[in-house]
Chain A
Amino acid sequence: MAANVGQARLGQKRKRSAIEDVKRAFTGLRRGETIAGYLFLAPNFIGFVIFMLFPICFAFYIMLTDWSLAKEPQFIGLKNFDTMVNDRIFWKSLGNSFYYTFVAVPTGIFIAFWLALALNRKMRGIIFFRTVYFLPQITLTVAAATIWRWIYQPEIGMINHILELIGIDGPKWIHDTKWAMPSVIIMSNWQGIGFAMLILLAGLQGIPEEFYEAAAIDGASGWQRMRFVTLPMLSPALFFVVVTSLIGAFQSFDQFYVLTQGGPAHATTPLTLYIFQNAFSFFKMGYGAALAAVLFVIILIITIIQWQLAQRWVFGFEEDD
């Protein structure tokens, strides 16, 4: 949308030369506006350059060094990436990040979708339920993970007590290499579903009633209405939820740090935690920055793939672009 504005403006500008344009902006009636524009932007822009743009550029240098902070950085070129190839824990953490993301996000969105459908019915008390489902979302992850760490305790935890009541001998949850990751995923979904649900609900509420009426007149079955009205109309909201959830999942840190601290035996060490450990426990700044670059590339690729796919399955995507 913004690109659109930019392009339209660029089109106009081509008629005049750029220099002339700048000159005009600083003389006559436009002068005051130009100066005001820069002044209004200045506080934000200065902070943005110092605390965002500069660190991002700096990161490119750090990843090419061997740097423990105690000594001066040593430029070593791409050696950090070489180290990575043979780093067993790096591959493990990369796998964990994918495991976590590609299980937690689809299951979470699936549940959120059905909840949103249920909440979209015209019934009393919907806002109450919406608030309840959203509460975990605004609870700080550290507190949520603290509560769940206790719920997951094998002997005194709530879950195993409940399982015992129905005659199931519960696993050791966060202390078991097989169950640790599912434990984190369950907790994360409990916390995060509210966000997806809210956006999907807003999407559902935006579908015009007439579409369903028309479908009903045409004799569409429930499934057909879902397939040909609900899903296409909901696709922009679904698309947004999928992209933000995938990106968010790859950046998850707090719940891993508090719930499992990456264990047992690195079973729940995602890339973010491994970056953190390298940089701030082992003081390998260069290696940490190189790992962060990998995370960045993954997120970038996901974003690009999503935008490509969106053109095929998101209704109205091209018009909007």
Chain B
Amino acid sequence: MASASANTGGRIGQKQTKILMDILVYVVLSVVGIIFIMPFAWMVANSFKDIRGIYQYPPTFIPEVWRFENYTEAWTLTHFDLGFLNSAIVAAAVVLGQLFTASLAGYSFARLRYPGRDKIFLLYISLMMVPFTVLLIPLYVQMRAFGWVSTLQAVIIPFLFTPWGTFMMRQFMVTIPRELEDAARIDGCGFFRTYWLIILPLTKPALATLAIFTFVNTWNSFQWPLIVLGKPKVKTLPLLLASFQNQSGMRTPWHLIMAAATFVVIPVLIAFIVGQKYYVRGIVTTGIKGGG
């Protein structure tokens, strides 16, 4: 409706209303924006305070005493070096694994013809709807049986296979013109070479979307690691951050917790700002497709 008024705005009165409306909308958007940013700003500001500054009354937004050691202290107290390494290994393995299995299966579903293909695809789609909560208990029992509890395998291997990602790949590959492939096949390319040389390069946007989604989800993942990763040396960052705030003594060291939170949040924020285009497109395209 807003865009309509922009088009009919020939008269001065309407133009003025539009400018007024724009100003009003900017004000509202900014106020909401401040509300959204405030918790982050509060987190960063307080990560530089000392404990007195945290419990000081009335509080100040800008620290009175700047304490940069919070970061080194939080880093060593929480063993974040190991946590970072674990989180990075898990995220890298899951992202690469999903790209591989999902694009292969996506190609198979989108292009190759064989008996049972559509039935298997339907099975994939219907199992996409099963909530992960249902899998927690049987999967945990399975991990125990495999001897994978408190190993990184437990948070990597079951997540290398993604019905959702496969679905997305298939939907994307279906839209690639067949002629390109046929040309390659006539030139004597096998199926794998066609997939590798023709299809994969054309699928880059969808691969980027899947990669950034999987990275964010894996990096942020909490519930399953909480269940299977008991030993300190395999814990990922979210687990360390959660357990750090529970081992507090008399006064919760909020300044250190906020420094730790800042550490954990930054890689995802960077990933998002770098890959925003793909992330947004992923939500928008799979969203509309999944719903309609």
A residues sitting closer than 8 Å to B (CB atoms) are: 1-3, 5-6, 9, 21-22, 25, 30, 32-34, 36-38, 40-41, 43-45, 47-48, 51-56, 58-59, 62, 69, 115, 117-123, 125, 129, 131-136, 138-144, 146-151, 156, 158, 161, 190, 195, 198-199, 202-203, 209, 212-213, 215-216, 222, 225-226, 229-230, 236-237, 239-241, 243-244, 247, 250-251, 253-254, 257-258, 272, 275-276, 279-280, 285, 288-289, 292-293, 295-296, 299-300, 303, 316-317, 320
Contact = CB atoms under 8 A, between A and B. Distances in A.
Interface stretch (B70-78, B158-166, B201-209): B158-166
Contact of A272 (B101, B133, B284, B290): B133
A52 B137 contact: no
A251 B131 contact: yes
Contacts of B177: none
Contacts of A6: 118-119, 121-122
B6 interface: yes
B33 interface: yes
B54 A156 contact: yes
B36 A199 contact: no
Nearest to A9: B118
B238 A142 contact: yes
27 contacts: A6-B119, A6-B122, A33-B114, A36-B192, A38-B108, A40-B105, A43-B104, A48-B161, A51-B161, A53-B123, A69-B144, A147-B42, A147-B261, A202-B283, A202-B287, A209-B3, A212-B3, A216-B8, A222-B1, A240-B288, A244-B290, A253-B133, A254-B223, A275-B136, A288-B136, A289-B137, A300-B129
Interface size class of chain B, counting residues whose CB lies under 8 Å from the partner chain:
35 or more
Interface of B: 1-4, 6-8, 21-22, 25-26, 28-29, 32-33, 35-40, 42-43, 46, 54-55, 57-59, 100-102, 104-105, 107-109, 112-115, 117-125, 127, 129-142, 144, 157-158, 160-161, 163, 166, 190-192, 195, 216, 219-220, 222-223, 226-227, 238, 241-242, 245, 254, 257-258, 261, 264-265, 268-269, 271-273, 276, 279-280, 283-284, 287-292
A44 B3 contact: no
A267 to B, nearest CB: 19
A306 B173 CA distance: 29
Contacts of A195: 283
Given A138-B269, A142-B238, A150 B258 contact: yes
